[in-house]
Every structure is written in structure tokens, then in C-alpha cells.
Chains A and B, each alone.
Chain A
């Protein structure tokens, strides 16, 4: 038995093999056993890609440990390969000396060819240095279920639970949570409950009988802050953050959306919660998604729209309209690999500049970004708060990596946190109907919000330039210039209403790493590691990008060098250099994959050489 601080395990198979489910079960069990963890589901865009091919491989990686876990891990310690393609796709990333559990039933001539192997890679030099655990997972599952009144295909389908059972033995996991889950999932078909539980136990027993040939690990519970925890992924946390915001603003939540990967899960989640008064409209297209939301916003809703990839391009014109209307709306963009259709199921950070500037005319808006799955709750709440209090559209950026990834989340005490949003509705502010000026403003240049149904506040809004205060159509040149300035200043002034920027590490030093969005886990861990090695490096992770916290410039000034790692070809780095002339350098990667901690540590060291 080996005690490990953390273990990275990757479940991998055909996209129909149930690997996402298996990985999720493993994560849930580990979370319940007190480990800190981070997950990374990685699957093809096709629902059932060609069986047995590398393109069809679906993976789920989980990093769990007894200390702080901030990413799903650079290199798996253990790979479960349900077929040769899964081996081929992943063996290059496996840690030296790592373990491969191979489903030998799928290692057939036909499958070798499909995966691009000449013949079996097992017992060849290709796998030198790895521990190979050979298991006839499919036939043993069918054998274990021989007394069940099920056809052999249905029996074979239980093989993912057999594999899961093996890993539960190897890592000392408890079976209860998964058995409960199976009971709930298949409750209507008792025979499937029994069969899957039997497969799970058979896998455990098999691993126990071959104990001599496999290493058994122990990963103790992590020491983390007191409280009640749950697992959450980014999309769920985003959806919940908006419900919380609507409740605290005392407004109805309205979502206008069009299904698109990987944003659709927010639509799914919000559609469940009708008893919170949430209205969701699945629209005819991306444009109607945002337009219906703007309509609802004019009507007094906390209105949001969700999208990804090319969807954000389609929404551009309506975003500009919401900007000149000065109505509250949150546009959620779950960034994915681009351009165009790009890599729908992969992650990237390449929409920042489009969200900042991608509209006709001078069209500033607030842009915020969530840093990790659980942070999506906070940033959805924050995006709503800023939108409602400053009467402006807000873009909330997340990405495929944190949207689908999950982690333990200390459930916030809602009586103390996320408690207050003050919408600028005329009845709540006590604005008089007599002589109402829809575009009169407060000290932050935010206008007031009068909605249909309110007597005496009837007014018209439009996409044509408006006269200051009255909002009537105006083509006056000087007025147009003034209005452009006002709308920009309004966004800038939101900086008065956001927290000051924090720095991880010393307030000054040789190198400041500036990151934003879903790369936080990796940049946080890399900077920490570099600090432990004695380097004078600190991390500034930006969650508020437009406007930035007021102290960002002075922080940057305290460091000799600035490094900006991004999953794009350099977007924030350009904004920083344009704004602060800080000669920041980019460290960039666009592979549809998140950063590895090791590559960032390397980049930091290179920068400080």
C-alpha cells in the first residue's frame, strides 16, 4: 500500500462506453470521502463518433488528493483504457511508471487497426515502464451476470461499473454512494439495479484477487475549511448564481437562449427551476435568444442569454442595442475553441477581444470572467449585480473547461453572502412620474429603469442616438459625442462598485503573472510552486476585466516583469499593454486544452532566467 498526496486517474473509452458517468461517480465518491478534487471531462463533439477510433475516444480525468487540488492534473497516474484507441489517445500523456488498466476483450485485431496499431501494443517496448493490469472486463462482466435475465448486450453494457469497481478497490473508495446512485438511476428497473451493483462488486473482487500484481493506494481526506460541501460544475454554478441574483434583486429571472455546446447545460438547469419563477425560452436562433432577453429586460426582468463560440458573434448587433438602450442584461459566453465552429467541446479563451470590442460603433460594456467551477456562482451574481446597478449589459465569460469541470464547493451561507442587489427601478428609487427623463443619471451615470405597467412613465427607447436625459432621437453632433463619452464613463465608473484587486504572494517582486478566467487553477498552482522554489513571483488573477479594479495599474508597477498566460494568441496581454504600457509578455497555448502546471512553471522560470 502506497500513501499518495494526490492521484490523477483518467477513464477513457468509446464515447458510448459510459466513461463520463464512471468518472463522475468516482469523483462524487472521492468528494464524499473528503478529498479535494478537480475534474476534466474531455469528449468528442460527435455524440457517437466511429466506434473504436481515436476520434471517438471520450475521457474523464479526475485529480483527487489530501492537499489543495487546483487543476485536474498534468499527467494521469492511472489510465483505464477500455479499448486500444483509448490507449493510443492517452498513453503519451501518462506519467512515467503509471498504471494502465486495459480491457483485454477490446484488444482485438480489428480494434488495433481502427486505433492505428499494427498489432497489439501490450507486452511491447512501446509500453515499457508502465504497469499493465490486464483484465477481461467485458467477458468477466458478462460472466458475473450470467444468472441475470438480461440479453448479453445489456450485460456487457454494465462493464463500466466493473471497471469502476476495480478502481474503487485500488484507491480504497467506498461503494455506498455509487450503489445509492445506481438505485436511484435505475430504480424503475430493479434488474438493472442489481446487475450494475453486481458488476461494480465483481470488479472490486477481481482487483482484490489480483492484488499481488497491482499497487493499492491510499489518498487521505484533505484538510480544508470547515463547512458543508458539495460538488458543483461551472454551468450549474452559473445557473444557480443567476437564480440567487434574481431572488436578491427581487426580480423574475428570464433566459432567452438557443442550444449550443457547451452552454446548453445552463438552459437545461434553469429550465428545471420553474418554482423559482424562472422563465426560459428556447428561441429560434441565437439572435432571438438575446433579443427576447432584451425584451424581457425592458419589461423589468433580470434577463440573461447564454451562448458559446459562433453564438456570441450572432448576438453582437443586439448587444450593441442593449448597450445604447442602457438596459440590464447579462450575456454569458462559455468560450470554446474557435474560430468559426472550431472545436465545440474543447476549451479556449479567445473571445475576450470580441466581447470587449466586437460591435459596431463605440460600444463599451462591462466584462467579467469566472476563475473556476464554483466561482461561476459568484460571478453570475456579480454580473447581475453590476448590470442592474449600472444599467448596462454585462458579459460573463467562462469556458468549456470550468463549465464542465467540477470541484468541491463550500456551500455559501446565503444569509450572509450574496445578499444585496439594488436595481434602479423608478418605483423603488421613488422617482416622480411627472416630467420623467428616462436617461437622467446618478453619480455613476446609471440611468433609471421604468417598465411597462408603470403609470405616467410611458417612454420609448431605440437604437438611434438619444438626446441626453430625455432619450428622444437626436442627430446633433455634439450630443452624439457627449453620449459616447457618457456611456464609456459609465462603464469605467463601475470600478467604484467592484472589489480591489488582490495579489497572491508578495506585493512586489521580479515577476507578476497576470491571468484571467478558467486558467486560475493552473496559474495559481504554478505560481505557488515557483514561490516555494524561492522565485520572487506573484499572481494577479483578474475577474473584472472591463472595468479593471482601480489598483491594477499600481500593482503592475511594483514588478519588474509581467507574464500573461492565456489560452489564445495573446488578448489580455494586448489590453494590458495598451492600457498600462507595461511591456507584458504573453505565454500562449491554443490546443483546445487547459494549461498544465508544469508548463507554466517552466514559463515562469524561463522568464526569470
Chain B
């Protein structure tokens, strides 16, 4: 075994010209991933990126690792096969809201359900980019696009809730304008054993510009997002004086220091608590912030590791397979 090399970002940059639109949020995510790769402690040859179809799915071509650009929506299935065959690999699925939430929804929920040890990064820009601007399964109702000139009528998916419904053991959300936070989340995802599902709020400058503006704009972002950390209270706001409390089962925004509210009253984030995670994914309403950070992380059996363990267990019990023995097992007869 060769020693673990020290990598720089450029070691993960492929020789292919990046062809996203100028100003696309994908550039920042690519850069954050390349930086994160220098820190995950894995050799370049043991890393594979697998994508489906869409703007974001060109990603593997730009990574100087192993990579597969597959077919629309199916990346989690390819990745499941690759990882199950070789559990030693660090496998990353790159998908978008059309690829992962629409055509590939089935594969995504089943990968999460099985808890295959891989990382799935969902670039959520709430629009179809590569097909030039139709609404997606995460677009808000009423969105006017080429295919919805009078406004979208579908109710959108909340990716986090979908993942939690499928039994997600790791769900985090981050944002393309915060490279440091993205890297932290990607590192945590790699360390997690099981399917790590990461939603990145990503901006499409051409077809849905500023869709996440409230969360990225310097003027509004602190009041519209809450950074959650396990064991810490959900405090946010420019003045760091807003927080979330529960009224019955319903979260509510309060101001610390008003109406007798103190820091002790604020909900403390517990990434192990499913109700807490469900609540965070469903936060909505005027003045209610969008949570960023690791929303859920729990331990659960990992599919590919279990496949390997079962093979070892059966082999230990029966002995390594012998083909000639197998063919002669059961009823045979001799013709002389």
C-alpha cells in the first residue's frame, strides 16, 4: 500500500474545460468539493463521482478522480452497485432537483432506505436548467416558466422531508455562497457511515436567478436562515437575538429579551431526534428561517457493509465455494 499523499486542490481538477454558465452556483460547489477532497483522507484513486443528467451532472468530468456520467435520474442505482461491489471506495453522487427529485426519485429514496455508505449532493435550484427553464418538482407553486406560462400548479417536494420519510440517517443543508460551510458539511458527510444526503441551495443565474436570494443576500440572510449545530440552541438573526421555541408542536420565532424570553427557552438542536429533524425540514411562514447545517445524523446498519459481512459469515460457515462440488451436489447418477 502506498502512503497517503498530501493533496492540493489542483490535484482534483481534471483537464476538461468547465462549461457551466458564467456566474452559475455550480462553480462554487465544484471548488468546495475539490477542497474538501484534500481533507477527507482518501486517495484520489479510491474516490468516484457518479452523476445523472442535467447541468450539475457534468460534475464528474471536472473531477480528477474516477467518475461516471450516467443516465437521467439513475445515479444512485449505479452508485449502489459500485459501492456494494467495492465498499472501500468513497462514492459521491451528484444530482439536481430534476434528476434526483423527479425522474430519479425512486432510486434516491431506495438508496437512502438501504443506507448505502455514500454521499449524495443535491444541487437545488428549483428549475430545469439544461432543458432551458421548465419548472421542477421543487419549484414554488405559481412559478412562471416556459412550461407554466400561467404559473406552476404542482405542490413542491421538500427534499429533506422526502429523505427523512425514506429513513435518512444523514441530512444536511448548505448553500452555494458559503464555501466554508459547504466544506464542513461535505467532510461530515464523508465521515458519516451510511447515505449522507446533502441539499445545496444553488443559484441558476439564467432561469431562476435569485431564487435563494433571501438566504444569500447580505442584508437578509441572517434573519432568514438559522445555522443548526447539535447541542446548540437555534438562535439566529443579525443581532443573534432571535430563536425558535415550540408552541405545542409548532415552532415559533421569538426574540430573546422580549416578553421574558431567555436563551434557555430556545430549542436546542438534537440531530438524533427525528421529530426535531422533521420540524426543521418543514419550517415555513413569514419571518421563519430556513435551517442550514446537519439536520439529522444517526447510526443505522449500512447496506454495503452488511452485504460484505453476510458473505464472510456464510463463507466461514460453509467454506469457500467449490464449483465441482456444487455441480455434483444432490442427486447424481453414473452411466458406465
The digit string for A221-259, where 1 denotes a CB below 8 A from any CB of B, is 000111111110000000010011001000010101000
**Cβ-defined contact, B331 with A28, below 8 A:** yes
Q: Roughly how many angstroms separate A321 CA and B315 CA in the complex, as a whole number?
A: 34
Instruction: Decide: A227 near B85, CB < 8 A? Known: A275-B319, A276-B321, A281-B80.
Output: no
The digit string for A443-461, where 1 denotes a CB below 8 A from any CB of B, is 0000000011111111111
Residues of A within 8 A of B239 (CB): none
Which of B62-70, B131-139, B157-165, B226-234 lies at the interface? B62-70
Which of B175-183, B258-266, B322-330 lies at the interface? B322-330
**Cβ-defined contact, A318 with B66, below 8 A:** no
B77 contacts which of A177, A227, A228, A292 (Cβ < 8 Å)? A292
Residues of A within 8 A of B209 (CB): none
**Cβ-defined contact, A414 with B324, below 8 A:** yes
Which of A46-54, A59-67, A197-205, A294-302 lies at the interface? A294-302
**Cβ-defined contact, B332 with A230, below 8 A:** yes
Whole-angstrom distance between the Cβ of B77 and the nearest chain A Cβ:
4
Whole-angstrom distance between the Cβ of B19 and the nearest chain A Cβ:
9
Residue of B nearest to A321 (CB): B71
B65 contacts which of A31, A283, A451, A458 (Cβ < 8 Å)? A458
B82 contacts which of A224, A452, A455, A460 (Cβ < 8 Å)? A452
**Cβ-defined contact, A296 with B333, below 8 A:** no
Residue of B nearest to A277 (CB): B311
The digit string for B37-81, where 1 denotes a CB below 8 A from any CB of A, is 000000111111110010000001101111111110010011111
The digit string for B67-109, where 1 denotes a CB below 8 A from any CB of A, is 1111100100111111111101100000000000000001100
Q: Roughly how many angstroms separate A451 CA and B67 CA in the complex, as a whole number?
A: 10
Q: Roughly how many angstroms separate A492 CA and B71 CA in the complex, as a whole number?
A: 26
B318 interface hit (Cβ, 8 Å) = yes
- Pairs A-B, 3 closest by C-beta atoms: A295-B81, A292-B81, A462-B69
**Cβ-defined contact, A281 with B81, below 8 A:** yes
**Cβ-defined contact, B84 with A296, below 8 A:** yes
Residues of A within 8 A of B67 (CB): 459-461
**Cβ-defined contact, A32 with B107, below 8 A:** no
A137 interface hit (Cβ, 8 Å) = no
Instruction: Decide: A31 near B333, CB < 8 A? Known: A284-B110, A458-B45.
Output: yes
Residues of B within 8 A of A457 (CB): 45
Q: Roughly how many angstroms separate A226 CA and B335 CA in the complex, as a whole number?
A: 5
Q: Roughly how many angstroms separate A529 CA and B88 CA in the complex, as a whole number?
A: 59
Chain B residues within 8 Å of A, Cβ to Cβ: 2, 14, 16, 43-50, 53, 60-61, 63-71, 74, 77-86, 88-89, 106-107, 110, 307, 310-311, 314-315, 317-321, 323-324, 326-328, 330-336
**Cβ-defined contact, B44 with A243, below 8 A:** no
Q: Roughly how many angstroms separate A222 CA and B165 CA in the complex, as a whole number?
A: 62
Residues of A within 8 A of B63 (CB): 460
A412 interface hit (Cβ, 8 Å) = yes
Q: Roughly how many angstroms separate A342 CA and B69 CA in the complex, as a whole number?
A: 35
Residues of B within 8 A of A589 (CB): none
Q: Which of A420-479 contact B (CB under 8 A)?
A: 451-464, 472-473
**Cβ-defined contact, A279 with B64, below 8 A:** no
Residues of B within 8 A of A177 (CB): 331
Residue of B nearest to A472 (CB): B16
A287 interface hit (Cβ, 8 Å) = yes
Given A230-B331, A288-B110, A295-B81, 6 new contacts (CB under 8 A): A227-B334, A228-B332, A228-B334, A411-B332, A458-B64, A460-B60
A273 interface hit (Cβ, 8 Å) = yes
Q: Which of A260-302 contact B (CB under 8 A)?
A: 273-277, 279, 281, 283-285, 287-288, 291-301
**Cβ-defined contact, A295 with B321, below 8 A:** no
**Cβ-defined contact, A298 with B331, below 8 A:** no
B2 contacts which of A274, A293, A452, A455 (Cβ < 8 Å)? A455
Residues of B within 8 A of A288 (CB): 74, 77, 80, 106-107, 110
Whole-angstrom distance between the Cβ of B328 and the nearest chain A Cβ:
6
Q: How large is the interface on A (under 10, 10 to 19, 20 to 34, 35 or more residues)?
A: 35 or more
Q: Which of A295-314 contact B (CB under 8 A)?
A: 295-301, 303
**Cβ-defined contact, A228 with B106, below 8 A:** no
Instruction: Decide: A243 near B328, CB < 8 A? Known: A284-B106, A460-B66.
Output: no
Residues of B within 8 A of A32 (CB): 331, 333
**Cβ-defined contact, A279 with B85, below 8 A:** yes
Residue of A nearest to B314 (CB): A274
Q: Roughly how many angstroms separate A461 CA and B335 CA in the complex, as a whole number?
A: 52
Instruction: Decide: A227 near B81, CB < 8 A? Known: A277-B311, A317-B71.
Output: no
Instruction: Decide: A292 near B327, CB < 8 A? Known: A34-B333, A452-B66.
Output: no
**Cβ-defined contact, A228 with B89, below 8 A:** no
**Cβ-defined contact, A296 with B81, below 8 A:** yes
Instruction: Decide: A240 near B69, CB < 8 A? Known: A229-B335, A281-B80, A453-B89.
Output: no
Residues of B within 8 A of A228 (CB): 328, 332-335
**Cβ-defined contact, B45 with A252, below 8 A:** no
**Cβ-defined contact, B321 with A277, below 8 A:** yes
Instruction: Decide: A295 near B333, CB < 8 A? Known: A228-B328, A230-B327, A414-B327.
Output: no
Instruction: Decide: A292 near B84, CB < 8 A? Known: A229-B332, A411-B332, A452-B89.
Output: yes
Residues of B within 8 A of A295 (CB): 50, 68, 77-83, 85
Q: Roughly how many angstroms separate A291 CA and B334 CA in the complex, as a whole number?
A: 43
**Cβ-defined contact, A274 with B310, below 8 A:** yes
Q: Roughly how many angstroms separate A460 CA and B331 CA in the complex, as a whole number?
A: 49
Residue of B nearest to A452 (CB): B66
Residues of B within 8 A of A472 (CB): 16
Whole-angstrom distance between the Cβ of A236 and the nearest chain B Cβ:
10
The digit string for A150-170, where 1 denotes a CB below 8 A from any CB of B, is 000000000000000000000
B48 contacts which of A224, A275, A452, A473 (Cβ < 8 Å)? A452
B328 contacts which of A31, A230, A300 (Cβ < 8 Å)? A230
Show 27 residue pairs from A and B whose CB-CB distance is below 8 angstroms, ordered by the A residue.
Answer: A28-B331, A31-B333, A177-B331, A225-B335, A230-B328, A231-B331, A252-B85, A275-B315, A276-B321, A277-B315, A277-B321, A281-B80, A283-B80, A284-B107, A285-B106, A291-B77, A292-B77, A295-B80, A295-B81, A298-B48, A298-B82, A299-B86, A317-B71, A412-B327, A452-B66, A460-B14, A473-B16
Residue of B nearest to A433 (CB): B45
**Cβ-defined contact, A292 with B80, below 8 A:** yes
**Cβ-defined contact, B16 with A243, below 8 A:** no
Residues of B within 8 A of A299 (CB): 48, 81-82, 85-86, 89
Residues of B within 8 A of A275 (CB): 311, 314-315, 317-321
Residue of B nearest to A377 (CB): B327
**Cβ-defined contact, B61 with A454, below 8 A:** no
Q: Roughly how many angstroms separate A580 CA and B324 CA in the complex, as a whole number?
A: 42
A455 contacts which of B45, B110, B311, B323 (Cβ < 8 Å)? B45
The digit string for A396-435, where 1 denotes a CB below 8 A from any CB of B, is 0000000000000011101000000000000000000000
Whole-angstrom distance between the Cβ of A223 and the nearest chain B Cβ:
9
Q: Roughly how many angstroms separate A125 CA and B13 CA in the complex, as a whole number?
A: 86
